[in-house]
Homo-oligomer: A and B are copies of this chain.
Amino acid sequence: MWSVVAPLPLASSRSRRPGASATVRRNYHGLDLAYFDRLRALSTQRGTLLCVGLDPDPERIEGGAAGALRHCQEVVRQTEEHVCCFKPNSAFWEQYGPDGWSALMELRDAAPNTPFLFDAKRGDMGNTMRTYARAVFETLAMDAATVHAYMGTDSLREFTAFEDRGVYIVCRSSNPGATDLQHLVAQGMPLYQQVAALAAKVNEHRNVGLVVGATAPAEVAEVRRASDLPFLLPGVGAQGGDVEAAARAAWNGDPASCLVSSSRSVLYASSPAREAASLKAQINAATGVRA
Determine the chain B residues whose CB is within 8 A of the CB of A248 once the complex forms: none
Flag whether A182 is at the interface (Cβ < 8 A). Answer: yes
Flag whether A131 is at the interface (Cβ < 8 A). Answer: yes
Flag whether A194 is at the interface (Cβ < 8 A). Answer: yes
Asked if A125 contacts B177 (CB within 8 A), the reply is yes
Flag whether A110 is at the interface (Cβ < 8 A). Answer: no
Residue among A91, A122, A134 with most chain B CB within 10 A:
A91
Q: Determine the interface band of chain A, counting residues with CB < 8 A from chain B.
A: 35 or more
Asked if A153 contacts B177 (CB within 8 A), the reply is yes
Asked if A181 contacts B198 (CB within 8 A), the reply is yes
Q: How far apart sit A126 and B234, CA to CA, in the bound complex (Å)?
A: 13
> Which of A9-17, A35-43, A99-107, A266-274 contacts the other chain?
A99-107
Complex copy number for this chain: 2
Known: A152-B175, A173-B151, A174-B125. A97 touches B101 (CB 8 A): yes
Chain A 30-71, CB-CB to B under 8 Å as 1, else 0, gives 000000000000000000000000010100000000000000
Q: How far is the CB of A143 from chain B (nearest CB, A)?
A: 17
Flag whether A124 is at the interface (Cβ < 8 A). Answer: yes
Q: How far apart sit A179 and B140, CA to CA, in the bound complex (Å)?
A: 31
Asked if A132 contacts B98 (CB within 8 A), the reply is no
A180 partner, pick from B96, B128, B148, B152, beta carbons under 8 A: B152
Beyond A94-B132, A121-B148, 18 additional contacts (C-beta under 8 Å) are A57-B131, A89-B128, A91-B132, A95-B131, A121-B123, A121-B124, A125-B174, A148-B148, A151-B178, A152-B178, A152-B179, A154-B176, A155-B177, A180-B198, A184-B191, A184-B194, A185-B187, A186-B186
